[in-house]
Structure 1
Amino acid sequence: MFKQLRNRFLVLNLVIISIMMIISFTSIYLITYKNVRNDISMEMSKVSDFNKKPDNILKEQHNLDSNNKKEEHRGERSISFTLIIDNNKKIINSFSIFDMDEKFYESAKDKALSENSSNGRFKLEDTYWEFVIKESPEDLGYKMVFLDVTSRYSYLTNLIYTFSAVALVTLIAIYFISRFFANKSIKPIKETFDRQKQFVADASHELKTPLAVINTNADVLLSNSEDTIINQSKWIYFIKSEVERMTKLTNDLLYLAKADNSDMKLISTDFDLSETIENVILTMEASIFENNMVLDYNIEPNVISHGNSEQIKQVVMILLDNALKYTNPEGKISLSFKKYNNKAILKISNTGKGISEEHLDKIFDRFYCVDKSRSKNSGGYGLGLSIAKAIVEQHNGKISVKSSLNENTTFTVELPRVGNK
């Protein structure tokens, strides 16, 4: 699907660019062609603009020939000649600075007359000539003026070849450039789509288990419909427990869905972040000591931050609960909180197995569990760290993790703080 999307993008991009290039090159060619035609018309006008008296014809032709010699010396070769023919189409005079035999003049005259027009263009001996036929003054017959336009039309032909070559090279270059950027543009979309598919699959799988448990316990209750509620209470408690787990899961899923929506608005105020962390520790301290673990904490007081204190409290609870789950028996949990420049930095560490390098990059992914069996036993779904990351990012902060195998794991949260003291 994404390959087809990329190919459509490439085709559309190339079609648009091709149309733009055709319009641009055609405009340039037409403007150039018009300029060339104007130049030819002006020169033909100069060559053909003679006085009516025969003696002035020679004088004017001499002046034109002198100009042609000057242009030839400058590298702008402009060849022209004039034929005077009588009413019987026979040549009676010719003017040219170049030596041309009578046979050439006859061929040029015949070519021009065969066009049946007073002006036009023909090819003779690999050379293109423009001609104009006018009535000669004082009833001398007709005056035929010829101008070599080969270089001008060769220029137009070369312009077409140049445009074609440039267009081909440009389209090839644009194809590879567009393909590169198309792949880069589609990659995050594909990753998001794959994560969404995985998210739906994982959510369906997580919901499937409690639903199966509820259904089974409901069948047991129905099979003992004549028994009292007290005797069947354990099945009801099982159902209630699974309902609570499903409620927590759906609430977490709804929160993550809202977090993905950039329009989600927080109720933010300035609050004492140090006090918020202390309150969480007070609620978690008993659970930590019950599991024969050591809690060591150092909190710098009066650190003010801006945001939602309840959500930040949830982040601290998630991280402490995560540390509690994965700390080794009689292990140690350490918490430090201090300000550094314009940031408030919270670090929560725990001793234990640690997290291998292959899992560190995925630890904040939804439904991702390093130890799945342990997560199931503790009632987790692998959404806690995802929620913590979403909350921290909503508060313009950062969360990261470092771990050493069989030693410790440290989560670091950086949040912006208020005040300079």
Structure 2
Amino acid sequence: MIRKLRWKFVGIMMTIITIFLVLILTTLYYSAQLNYRSQSMDTLHSAIKEVKEASSGNPPPPAPRSGPPLPAREASPILVADVKTDGSISIVKNRIFSVDNSELEMLIALADQQEGSSGTMKDRHLRFLCDKKRPGGAVRYAFVDIYAEQNSLYWQAIHSVIIGGCAFGAFFIFSVLLSKWAVKPVETAWKRQQQFVADASHELKTPLTVILSNANMLVHTPDIPSGRNHQRIEHIQAEAIRMKQLLESLLTLAKSDSGEQPWEHSRISLSFIVNSSILSFEPVAFDMGKYISSQVEDSIEMDGDEKKLRQLTDILLDNACKYSAEGSTILVSLSRSGPKEALLSVSNEGCPLSEDEMQHIFLRFYRADPSRGGIPGYGLGLSIARSIASEHGARIDVTTDGVKRNYFSVRIPVRLPNTLG
């Protein structure tokens, strides 16, 4: 329980940290991308403006500024070309590379294929701007080389992944260490609670045993006449037996939680265990006016604790007998659901479980239907069944058809059938 709580704490911490890391690194990347794009677009606008003013004979006045001079825009890799109304192309400015008319025509054609007056040609490492407001109907195209921009963004993405991975690993180690400190009070309280339950169960078993022994003696004592006194003694005996069963269940859960419950590991026949449990409960079900129908596949073997698995099967059958409708049939099946997995299913007719009941039915002391208060039990059986299933690496689930039948299924890891002679 504490281990699950620690890993849940680590999972929550890492989810929050991952979201923050992704947001920060993604924001930095897109901020750099927008900054590069803004710079290149400024370069394109400046190139078209400078060429336009230079061709009109009015060079732009130098802008007053303080501080060190900025780098000259002419150093930017720019190509500016005009397309006249007759289709002829003339290069106005070229600071990228030597280009012939066919290559320039192809670049202009690619620019015309894109929507809007600007765009990017990623495969050619170019960004363009189109100025269609030229005298005489001419169109001016400006291209800027963005290879350095793309290269910078590529390496920023690589560095972001590396930094994010290192930060994730560092925060993971920190979260694991922090989780141990964070759950320490819960762990201490949990251990004290389990110790109290175990000690109380042990301490109460002795007086209950004495009460049961004396009640049995009184029942068979001829000095006490049959009648109301005899009935009172039988009531004491019955309630003492119920209390003893409750203490044994609490002790079983306490040992399971603390990991101190003995584990008798051996190769066992799951088919034999299920059949034995069915044979034991058939007369019980018959006395209650109910029937058990079974379909058990032979030779299903596994490594596990025979007593605990028998207890698991008994709990499911006992639960089905208690909560099934009178005159109904309890269905029990055991079969292979995979090469290394067996499926044990126990179903009974009755009031269909709701979604909320199915989520809480394996909790301790939970009773699905308040009207079932007259049915003996404390709501611990299914909790013990889940604990036993977990110890054997199995998974127990409950489903319903929503009409009249509820299904309890246990998926158990088993051995492959022995094919050797």
TM-score class, shorter: 0.3 to 0.5
Which of 1 and 2 has greater Rg?
1
TM-score, normalised with respect to structure 2: 0.47
